């Protein structure tokens, strides 16, 4: 059997993982600094495809820590990448929990994501988990919900942390009971114990992944004020309607949330050469420019600018089609970070707008990897890379890193192969 580029790369991971890790780190840093590395960095994939390939269930990936390392280590071995995010154990949006504890830098960032075991304690209504509300073979899901009425904006504005802590958490998390009750106190002690267990598990797993040729950079977390409202308080549709029905309240709430968001983000100090702050955007693509520019962007921009000034680099996931708002990114300082685009209706246009100013990540429709053929994937990536490669500052990635069940293994290999073949400068 003829060896493909991916096979040779896997062999190098086995033979000289330290060299490979060093190459990856240099390649990635160069791209983040808007430079031209030796090759376009290739971002990894995961999702249902990981479960199907390794045979681990979503339940085990969420709850059974001992079953996770063999699956994840096999996966990163067989589908090597330069940089990637694999949630192990599985995690979902939970930034509201961090915002309830912004003055506890020792753990505010750690509880930023919801995990299955924490969900079991809080019984939060924001998320649903396999083996609990969902079947064991189904992806855990964030559903959000409406936990605040429009008339309560005033309280949120007055003291956002107290409001989230004392009003929203009891409503959204029946497992906590009433603030100050034995149930409440006991639940938080349990959350702490569970987080400690997960944290030490993750540290061990990262060491193992690192030994296999994967560099790691520290990452902290931030959020957009309007998404706090949409994701955790008013449901996205409620937030969108509030912008029109209660514009002043909405803006004041966004302003009030900036400070606690920054507190959570800066709980992890910036360490050279690279500490990212991750922000996933949710309402962005749903808003017309008028609403985006008035209710969303000013507060997001403030968070990004403040953190960049402090020495962090941004890593922002622009969900959906962000093209209508893409020019606003140019208002940020050059080299502020990485913009990962899910599915801008014209990726090349986004790239042309931002190249030399922002590191751009994305370019590959997940549906191409799911439904295409290795030949089609190769052809598509060859064409894409001929257009976006020359200037540097580009990271190859699917629009989302989660690929569904049924994604052909040959297609995922074709994606990595094409990056290796056509991505060299």
Partner 1 sequence: MSSSLEVELERLLKSILDLNEEKALEITENLLTSNVDPLKILEVIKKAAEEIGGRFERGEYFVADLVMAGEILKGISEKVMPKLREVGRSRETVGKLLIGTVEGDIHDIGKNIVVTMAEAVGFEVVDLGVDVPPKKFVEAIKQHNPNIVGLSGLLTLAIDSMKKTVDAIRETGLREKVKIIIGGGRVDQYACEYVGADAWTNDAATGVRIMLKWVREKEGGG
CB of 372 vs partner 1, minimal distance in Å: 6
**For the CA atoms of the chain, what is the radius of gyration?**
21
CA distance 113 to 92: 6
Per CB under 8 A, does 287 bind partner 1? yes
Per CB under 8 A, does 328 bind partner 1? no
Per-residue contact track with partner 1, 212 to 251, x per CB under 8 A? ------------------------xx--xx-xxx------
- Residues in the interface with partner 1 (CB under 8 A) total 41
CB of 365 vs partner 1, minimal distance in Å: 6
Residue 422 to residues 342, 382, 391, Cα–Cα distance (Å): 22, 6, 15
Instruction: Determine which residue in the list 99, 172, 258, 291 makes contact with partner 1, applying CB under 8 A.
Output: 291
- Pick the closer one to partner 1 by CB: 298 or 404: 404
Q: Is there a contact between 172 and 232 (Cβ–Cβ < 8 Å)?
A: yes
Per-residue contact track with partner 1, 20 to 39, x per CB under 8 A? --------------------
- Pick the closer one to partner 1 by CB: 128 or 202: 128
* Residue 220, phi then psi, degrees to nearest 5: -110, 180
CA distance 317 to 401: 11
CB of 126 vs partner 1, minimal distance in Å: 12
CB of 171 vs partner 1, minimal distance in Å: 20
Structure tokens at 337: 């970070």
Greatest Cα-to-Cα distance within the chain, rounded to the nearest angstrom: 68
- Pick the closer one to partner 1 by CB: 228 or 307: 228
- Pick the closer one to partner 1 by CB: 237 or 386: 237
Per-residue contact track with partner 1, 179 to 208, x per CB under 8 A? ------------------------------
CB of 109 vs partner 1, minimal distance in Å: 26
DSSP state of 232: I
**Angle separating helix axes 247-265 and 297-309, nearest 10 degrees:** 20
CB of 81 vs partner 1, minimal distance in Å: 18
Which stretch in 17-25, 60-68, 247-255, 359-367 sits in contact with partner 1 by CB under 8 A? Answer: 359-367
Per CB under 8 A, does 343 bind partner 1? yes
Of residues 3 through 22, those in contact with partner 1 by CB under 8 A are none
Which stretch in 62-70, 103-111, 164-172, 361-369 sits in contact with partner 1 by CB under 8 A? Answer: 361-369
- Pick the closer one to partner 1 by CB: 112 or 139: 139
Q: Is there a contact between 55 and 48 (Cβ–Cβ < 8 Å)?
A: no
CA distance 404 to 49: 5
Per CB under 8 A, does 367 bind partner 1? yes
Helix (H, G, I), strand (E, B) or coil at 394: strand
Per CB under 8 A, does 365 bind partner 1? yes
Which stretch in 153-161, 286-294, 303-311, 417-425 sits in contact with partner 1 by CB under 8 A? Answer: 286-294
At CA 375, angle to CA 370 and CA 377, rounded to 5? 45
Q: Is there a contact between 255 and 225 (Cβ–Cβ < 8 Å)?
A: yes
For tokens 């990056």, the residue is: 419
Of residues 376 through 415, those in contact with partner 1 by CB under 8 A are 399-400, 402-406
Per CB under 8 A, does 73 bind partner 1? no
For tokens 């955790």, the residue is: 232
* C-alpha torsion angle, residues 49, 51, 54, 60 (rounded to 10): 170
Q: Is there a contact between 370 and 364 (Cβ–Cβ < 8 Å)?
A: no
At CA 250, angle to CA 244 and CA 254, rounded to 5? 140
- Pick the closer one to partner 1 by CB: 120 or 133: 133
CB atoms within 10 A of CB 235: 18
For tokens 């989660």, the residue is: 402
Of residues 81 through 120, those in contact with partner 1 by CB under 8 A are none
CA distance 384 to 352: 12
H-helix segments, 33-127: 48-54, 58-63, 68-78, 95-99, 116-122
Which stretch in 163-171, 267-275, 281-289, 409-417 sits in contact with partner 1 by CB under 8 A? Answer: 281-289
Instruction: Determine which residue in the list 48, 136, 255, 294 makes contact with partner 1, applying CB under 8 A.
Output: 48
Per CB under 8 A, residues contacting partner 1 are: 47-48, 128, 134-135, 138-139, 141, 143, 236-237, 240-241, 243-245, 283, 285-288, 291, 319-321, 324, 343, 365-368, 370-372, 399-400, 402-406
């Amino acid at each position: 059997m003829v060896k493909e580029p991916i096979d040779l790369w896997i062999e190098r991971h086995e033979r000289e993982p330290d060299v490979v890790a060093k190459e990856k780190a240099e390649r990635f840093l160069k791209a983040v600094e808007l430079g031209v590395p030796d090759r376009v960095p290739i971002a990894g994939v995961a999702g249902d495809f990981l479960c199907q390939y390794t045979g681990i269930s979503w339940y085990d990936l969420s709850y059974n820590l001992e079953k996770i390392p063999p699956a994840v280590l096999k996966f990163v071995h067989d589908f090597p990448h330069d940089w990637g995010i694999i949630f192990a154990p599985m995690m979902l949006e939970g930034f509201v929990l961090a915002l309830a504890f912004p003055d506890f830098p020792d753990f505010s960032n750690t509880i930023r994501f919801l995990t299955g075991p924490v969900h079991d304690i809080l019984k939060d209504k924001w998320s649903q988990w396999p083996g609990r509300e969902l079947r064991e073979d189904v992806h855990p899901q964030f559903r959000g919900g409406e936990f605040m009425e429009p008339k309560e904006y005033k309280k949120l504005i007055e003291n956002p942390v107290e409001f989230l802590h004392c009003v929203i958490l009891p409503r959204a998390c029946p497992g906590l009971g009433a603030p100050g009750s034995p149930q409440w106190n006991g639940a938080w002690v349990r959350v702490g114990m569970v987080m400690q267990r997960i944290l030490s598990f993750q540290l061990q797993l990262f060491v193992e992944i690192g030994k296999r040729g994967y560099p790691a950079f520290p990452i902290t977390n931030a959020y957009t004020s309007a998404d706090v409202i949409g994701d955790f308080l008013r449901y996205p549709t409620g937030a969108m309607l509030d912008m029109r029905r209660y514009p002043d309240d909405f803006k004041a709430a966004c302003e009030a949330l900036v400070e606690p968001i920054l507190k959570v983000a800066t709980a992890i100090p910036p360490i050279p050469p690279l500490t990212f702050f991750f922000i996933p955007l949710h309402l962005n693509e749903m808003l017309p420019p008028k609403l985006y520019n008035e209710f969303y962007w000013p507060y997001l921009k403030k968070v990004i600018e403040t953190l960049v000034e402090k020495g962090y680099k941004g890593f922002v996931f622009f969900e959906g089609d962000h093209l209508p708002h893409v020019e606003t990114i140019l208002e940020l300082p050059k080299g502020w970070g990485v913009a990962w685009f899910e599915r801008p209706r014209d990726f090349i246009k986004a790239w042309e707008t931002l190249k030399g100013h922002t590191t751009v990540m994305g370019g590959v429709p997940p549906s191409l990897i799911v439904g295409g053929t290795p030949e089609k994937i190769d052809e598509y990536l060859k064409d894409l890379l001929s257009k976006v490669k020359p200037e540097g500052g580009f990271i190859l990635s699917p629009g989302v890193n989660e690929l569904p069940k049924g994604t052909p293994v040959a297609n995922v290999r074709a994606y990595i192969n094409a990056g290796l073949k056509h991505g060299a400068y």
